[in-house]
Amino acid sequence: MTRPQVSGGAAPIDERHPPIKPRRVAFDWSETPLHWVPGDPVATHIINSFHIVLPEGEKWFIQCVKDARPHIRDERLLEEIKGFIGQEMVHARSHQGVLDQILERGGIDVSKITDAAGRGNAERPAQMAALKERNPRAWRRRLRFELAAVASIEHYTAVLGQWIMDNDRLDKAGVDPTMLDLLRWHGAEEVEHRSVVFDVYKAMGGRYPTRVAAWVVSLFFLYWALIGGSLYLLKQDPTIKKRVTPLRVYRSYRRSVRLGHVPGIFRLLLGEAPVYLKPNHHPSKVCSTPRALEYLLQSPAAKAAGYDPY
């Protein structure tokens, strides 16, 4: 079988082990409006809910992988871990910029959520160290469960990344180009490193039952982040004068799905279950690394950062 290639390039792509490079991108939010999906605050805030959880969420992903790293012997996986950590650090910083410069400027305060998540991240290293000293087997079980949860979330972020790269209806809707580049750049890198945490989990002795249990927990977390987060933002949005009710939001959400501004949340979360829960599943079997690299070749932020795929 012929391996896929980046358009215009000569190097074949190994879907299971693509090269993973951090790209030191930067974004200027000075011209980005609060409702960066024009005329669609619901779609805007559904996606903004990711901006709330990702800065601290990405830091948690990094902590889990760093905890596992001393126990990994595969040199190639260790190199992929290095690239993964570098990419996730840039992701966390980039999404924090949205909170600091767009939501804060628009009069939306999300510190209640971000501060709680930050405290959890700050307390975790000491908790894990104490657990490891007291009961190494329990420490390993907890770490495996956390890695399995992160691997589940990474599956969804890769699928969302593919969706947003392929969705030209966002361009037609006039979505702010800087925000669209952030989302597509991030999505492309999620596709690029989609196998890393899954492979770390397997290398740590992770088994199928734990993967299923962690997927269930992750599903509830993602549901809370998307639904609860978007309702929280809509209620805080000072430009929305009508009372925010679940029924009104749901009607607007259905319109946003029809217009292609957001994916169907329930279809996404449950529709991916037969894919992710296959016993022989591997992340390299879903999404397209060549498509991700193709976008990164044209991403304004990646080009400004000096990205070179070769």
- In this structure, is residue 188 part of a structural domain? yes
User: What whole-number distance in Å separates Cα of residue 160 and Cα of residue 119?
Assistant: 28
> How confident is the model at residue 6, as a pLDDT?
47
What is the DSSP-derived secondary structure letter of residue 3? P
* pLDDT tens, the chain, 310 aa long: 333 444 444 457 889 899 898 999 999 999 999 999 999 999 999 999 999 999 999 999 999 999 999 999 999 999 999 999 999 999 999 999 999 999 999 999 999 999 999 999 999 999 999 999 999 999 999 999 999 999 999 999 999 999 999 999 999 999 999 999 999 999 999 999 999 999 999 999 999 999 999 999 999 999 989 999 999 999 999 999 999 999 999 999 999 999 999 999 999 999 999 999 999 999 999 999 999 999 999 999 999 987 665 4
Coil, strand or helix: which one is 12?
strand
Amino acid at 69: R
> How confident is the model at residue 294, as a pLDDT?
94
- In this structure, is residue 240 part of a structural domain? yes
Structure tokens at 104: 């804060």
- In this structure, is residue 165 part of a structural domain? yes
> How confident is the model at residue 107, as a pLDDT?
95
Structure tokens at 24: 């030191």
Report the DSSP beta bridge partners of residue 5: 12
Residues 6+ apart with CB under 8 A from 228: 49
User: What whole-number distance in Å separates Cα of residue 29 and Cα of residue 182?
Assistant: 11
Among 157, 146, 180, 149, which residue's Cα sits nearest to residue 269?
157
CB 62 within 8 A of CB 89: yes
Structure tokens at 184: 């597509």
CB burial class (10 A; 0-12, 13-18, 19+) of residue 142? Answer: middle
> How confident is the model at residue 204, as a pLDDT?
97
Structure tokens at 173: 């809707």
Q: How many CB atoms lie within 10 A of CB 216?
A: 13
> How confident is the model at residue 13, as a pLDDT?
80
Number of domains in the chain: 1
- In this structure, is residue 28 part of a structural domain? no
> How confident is the model at residue 89, as a pLDDT?
97
What are 279-284's contacts with CB under 8 Å, separation 24+?
Answer: 279/208, 282/16, 282/195, 282/198, 283/151, 283/154, 283/155, 283/158, 283/194, 283/195, 283/198, 284/15, 284/16, 284/194, 284/195
- In this structure, is residue 9 part of a structural domain? no
User: What whole-number distance in Å separates Cα of residue 143 and Cα of residue 129?
Assistant: 11
- In this structure, is residue 178 part of a structural domain? yes
Amino acid at 222: L
- In this structure, is residue 33 part of a structural domain? no
CB 284 within 8 A of CB 195: yes
Domain housing 272: 41-278+287-304
- In this structure, is residue 27 part of a structural domain? no
